[in-house]
Structure 1
Amino acid sequence: MCLINLHFQQHANYKLIVAANRDEFYDRPTKQAHFWDDKPFILAGRDLRQMGTWMGITKNGRFAALTNYRDPSQAETGKRSRGSIVTNFLSGNVKPIEYLSSLQKDKDNFAGFNVILGSSDSLYYYSNQENKIRPINVGTHSLSNHLLNTPWPKVTKGRDKLKEYVQTHSEMVHDDLLQLVADAEMAEDHALPDTGVGLELERNLSPLFIKTDGYGTRASTILTIDINNMVHFTERTYEGGIAKNEVSYHFKINS
């Protein structure tokens, strides 16, 4: 993912609400969200190059989502696939704190990343750039390609839009949330971060929904888990900024 907006608990009808975008090169082979043939308890999209994923949930309610940390000065060659971080958590049964503690010891084998994982009852955040395991507090949060809730324009905007929506709606309509993360408005230059990629690219990467030549938002994913542990998962895929397909899944978390 490149933008994860989430609302954790603090709602009369929902325990977890996620509205996220995955940005990637258009030519990178990907399979849209499905229950995996080799691990049929995992619902997630799949990167067909490294066979990992960026966000997923299991039938037992294990959830994980990952973003890259943007720092062009860091070498990425020779590092392990970051998609394996999500896949390995979803595949196992290790408690979140134990998993992140193990990951912490292995942090230098990965290029910069952020991960949010756990369940709708308890969530944790870890970045190998900050190197601290943090519980996610109740409320609304946003994560892009820096640390959690870093006040980049897209982070602040995404968090504020989701917060307003959940505070004014008793039911989460997935089409509404998909529209929320389809905002392609660029930020003003004075508000842009300086991550070392140059002004033009900072502009192009500043919207919630990215459209450039060769790179942009490939999928928007909405995940809601209600107070009865019903999961509703919708993924809309895009090609060159144009919506191409949509899948939805619904199931109750195994107790």
Structure 2
Amino acid sequence: MCIIFFQFDPHSVSAYRFILAANRDEYYSRPSKPADFWGNNCDILSGLDMEKGKEGGTWLGINKKGKFAALTNYLQPTNRLNVLGRGYLVTNFLTEDVDGLTYLKKISSEGHLYNGFNLITADFNKTKGDTMCYYGSKSGQEPKTLEPGIYGLSNSLLETPWKKLVLGKKLFTDVINRSNELSPENLVQELINVLNNEEVQMPATDIEEQGQDFIRPFLKEISALFVRTSFYGTRTNTVILVDAKGHVNFTERTMLSPDINQWKVSSFQFELEI
């Protein structure tokens, strides 16, 4: 399970044009690298999956040219084996010279090659204007451009009102409404606090119905925003702030796998080159 909350405000002149708070939930045993730029002189910033056969994929990333993408898996009772790794959907967008909507239209024709997923893309550009797009491979709909607003996405389709998503979106919105009063450091910390909320949101009938037998043994644990089981849970909090001038503040708090008691916080700041 993963969860993402974001505000898209492309016309902001005094505050933030984009604010994101996201949790990556994963098996503790799955190897990955914390967020960093991809080598010397590389403009892409993300964590990286290091699972054998899926090395180099990622769940969320941004580059200095103003491209952003984030992925969540679509909860299913069973997943097909021998399909393409979904993390490459983000990696490929960040490395290709193509806008988000064009990319998602291409991906929509290839969705059958992957297990179910949701993909968000953004292009931040002062000249052409900012755009955000969404595609859900299980939606039965074409990719779409998103209107300005506040959104929530977990392991169902965009804005599906799971109880944990409704709670998280409310908490996220409460912080966003005070964002102009907070320093960037305090804003980041308050958003991380939202992501680490452990309030159980039961009954989770929608999650249970979508996941069926696969999800029932640990339904209670995954009904909270911050997930913790003996073998799987929230391993990464990410907060991204993009202000009106194109300054990016990227903060990641990641578990030093597989120790749930040790965490590393990394912060990056840079200017968009657009």
TM-score by length of 2: 0.88
One-letter amino acid of the structure 2 residue matched with residue 24 of structure 1: E
Q: Percent identity?
A: 34
Which residue number in structure 1 is paired with residue 100 of structure 2?
96
Deviations 1:7-54 (A, max 9, x none): 111754000000000000001001000001288111000001212000
Is 1:60 matched up with 2:65? Answer: yes
Contact kept? 1:217, 1:241, Cα under 8 Å: no
Q: Where does structure 1 differ by over 4 angstroms across 4 or more consecutive aligned residues?
A: none
Unpaired stretches in structure 1, ≥5 consecutive residues: none
Which residue number in structure 1 is paired with residue 127 of structure 2?
none
Please point out which of 153, 165, 170 is paired with 1:155. 165
Whole-Å Cα distance in 1 between the matches of residues 64 and 228 of structure 2? 33
CA shift, 1:200, in A, is 3.6
Whole-Å Cα distance in 2 between the matches of residues 150 and 218 of structure 1? 23
One-letter amino acid of the structure 2 residue matched with residue 213 of structure 1: S
Please point out which of 132, 146, 151 is paired with 2:142. 132
Which residue number in structure 2 is paired with residue 77 of structure 1?
81
Which residue number in structure 1 is paired with residue 263 of structure 2?
244
Is 1:166 matched up with 2:215? Answer: no
Whole-Å Cα distance in 2 between the matches of residues 30 and 39 of structure 1? 22
Please point out which of 195, 201, 213 is paired with 1:181. 195
Could you say what secondary structure the match of 2:174 adopts?
helix
Deviations 1:66-123 (A, max 9, x none): 00000114x3201100000000000011111111111011110000000100224110
User: Which is further off, 133-142 or 221-230?
Assistant: 133-142
Equivalent pairs counted in the alignment come to: 254
Whole-Å Cα distance in 1 between the matches of residues 41 and 20 of structure 2? 23
Could you say what secondary structure the match of 1:70 adopts?
coil
Deviations 1:175-196 (A, max 9, x none): 1111110001111226653221
Contact kept? 1:79, 1:109, Cα under 8 Å: yes
CA shift, 1:242, in A, is 3.1
CA shift, 1:241, in A, is 4.1
Whole-Å Cα distance in 2 between the matches of residues 94 and 117 of structure 1? 11
Contact kept? 1:236, 1:243, Cα under 8 Å: no
Which residue number in structure 1 is paired with residue 8 of structure 2?
8
CA shift, 1:199, in A, is 3.4
Whole-Å Cα distance in 2 between the matches of residues 225 and 190 of structure 1? 34
Contact kept? 2:204, 2:223, Cα under 8 Å: no
TM-score by length of 1: 0.94
CA shift, 1:198, in A, is 4.4
Could you say what secondary structure the match of 2:177 adopts?
helix
RMSD: 1.8
Deviations 1:120-158 (A, max 9, x none): 411001011114212222111110000001000111111
Could you say what secondary structure the match of 2:168 adopts?
helix
Is 1:122 matched up with 2:163? Answer: no
Unpaired stretches in structure 2, ≥5 consecutive residues: 125-129
Whole-Å Cα distance in 2 between the matches of residues 102 and 137 of structure 1? 21
Query: Cα gap change, 1:100/1:38 in structure 2, threshold over 3 Å: closer, same or farther?
Result: farther
Which residue number in structure 2 is paired with residue 86 of structure 1?
90
Whole-Å Cα distance in 2 between the matches of residues 145 and 39 of structure 1? 34
Whole-Å Cα distance in 1 between the matches of residues 231 and 197 of structure 2? 19
Could you say what secondary structure the match of 1:43 adopts?
strand
Which residue number in structure 2 is paired with residue 47 of structure 1?
49
